[in-house]
Amino acid sequence: MRPQKKIAVVGGGSWGTALAQSQARLGHQVFLWLRSQDACEQINETRYNSKYYPEIQLDSKIFATTDIQACYEQAQIILLALPSSEIVPWIEETKIYLRDHQALVCTSKGLDLLHLQTLSQKLAQIYGSKWTHRHYAVLSGPSFAVELIQQLPTAVDLASSNTELRNMLIDSCSDTHFKWFPSKDMIGLEVGGALKNILAIAVGASDGYGFGENARAALITKGLKEISKVGVALGAEPETFFGLSGMGDLLLTCTGDQSRNRQVGLGLSTGKSLKDILTQIQQTAEGIRSCKIAADISERHQLETPILTETYHALYGIKDPKKAIIDLLHTIV
């Protein structure tokens, strides 16, 4: 029988709401933290998050709140569903509420811009490896939020250096609709999850410019090799990139039209500015931030990563986007 837990989900966007629904359906009591009191009242009174899922009724076991201290005091498992740039500051702010037995699962897909490392590496640097071993895990894989909340089959990887923590999380949170597979390679999951977003921008732009399916296949294949290079340089295991959190997430994000990062690339190909593209999609596209980090990591470690580098050039105005895509295609095709 599945152990019933109290779970806090931090972040009430499309992904956080889908996570909360997936866990409430398993019988867990879920505390969904949002910044907006109005949004909390709407969810608690109507059972709908109208901004993201106006047609999906949320489970009665979800309680929305703006009181993070109350969430942490009650929860045994905390799922972080914030933009990656907010994860470290959030943990620094809320660490006083974290208790010894609690699990902290990061579901965000990004890297630390200032120090050019993964979030788990940054947290180990701040709090020590014993702290991350005791508390921290990473969840990543091919998982569009709308399909998760619709209970369509979804499989992801869960990584932690702590076998007991990893097993507890999988026993508690994984089921036939949302399957969690164990891994020890947090760095690999983090790098794969962050850098596939950059590839999705490149593929979206290539598709938008009409460069064809052959070019798309080449970009994805060569892109996976670049992601693996960066990951290994940061300490990841190379085989991780052939699993769900590597190749799986890369394929979904590059080819699925629900992908925000793919939409950024498609928007670039029409001549739209980044500001206009982001206004249109109305959600975070992590690849924009991650491409600068990836370019800097590649330079620091003297890695040849033309796709990652040229995508950075296209996004940050260093090159005309079409010329950048043509240049990278000439490099790999």
Residue pair 84/108 in contact (Cβ under 8 Å)? The answer is: yes
Q: For residues 110-132, b (16+ Cβ closer than 10 Å) or e, as one string?
A: bbbeeebbbbbbbbbeebeeebb
DSSP state of 82: S
Cβ atoms of residues 312 and 292 within 8 Å: yes
Query: DSSP string spanning 104-144?
Result: EEE----EETTTTEEHHHHHHHHH-HHHHHHHEEEEESS--
Q: Among residues 306, 328, 192, which one has the least CA distance to residue 254?
A: 192
Annotated active-site positions, please? 196
CB atoms within 10 A of CB 91: 23
Name the token pair of 319: 């090159």
Distance (Å, rounded) from C-alpha 194 to C-alpha 306?
17
